[in-house]
Amino acid sequence: MEVNTVVKALAALAQPSRLEVFRALVVAGQGGLTPGALSESLGVAPNTLSFHLKELVHADLITQERAGRNLIYRAQFDRMNALLAYLTQNCCQGEACLAPATKQCDC
């Protein structure tokens, strides 16, 4: 993945509403969601949502498909995975990364 592509994707996700839209589409899986369903579930005004969807499409993180009279938006999982791979390709100098142990409460 090229640096400019990574920067464009991260810039698109660096806004709370767009991040929530993207996460909702990831949860929805390959079935995707309509703008109406996204607007209702996230509480985002339709005109505002259109702007955010356009930005995510432009960053190549989601796709738009017409199904009859509806638009269906889907996360591009290959792009998401490529972005994650780019961000973690040199993680921990090639060693397995372990999550830090959580401290248990003795309450």
| Domain annotation covers residue 31 | yes
Q: Name the token pair of 88.
A: 């973690």
> At 68, which CATH number?
1.10.10.10
Within-domain flag for 94: no
The total domain count for the chain is 1
Is residue 82 a part of any domain in this protein?
A: yes
Give CB contacts under 8 A, 24+ apart, made by 70-79: 70/34, 71/34, 71/35, 72/32, 72/33, 72/34, 73/25, 73/32, 73/33, 73/34, 73/35, 73/38, 74/25, 74/28, 74/30, 74/31, 74/32, 75/22, 75/25, 75/26, 75/28, 75/32, 77/26, 79/9
- Domain residues for the domain of 68 are 3-87
Model pTM score: 0.84
59-72 pLDDT, tens digit per residue, is: 999 999 999 999 99
**In terms of pLDDT, which residue wins out, 93 or 66?**
66
The verdict on residue 100 lying in a domain is no
pLDDT tens per residue, range 6-49: 999 999 999 999 999 999 999 999 999 999 999 999 999 999 99
Judged against a pLDDT cut of 60, whether residue 105 lies above it is answered with: no
The answer as to whether 39 is a domain residue is yes
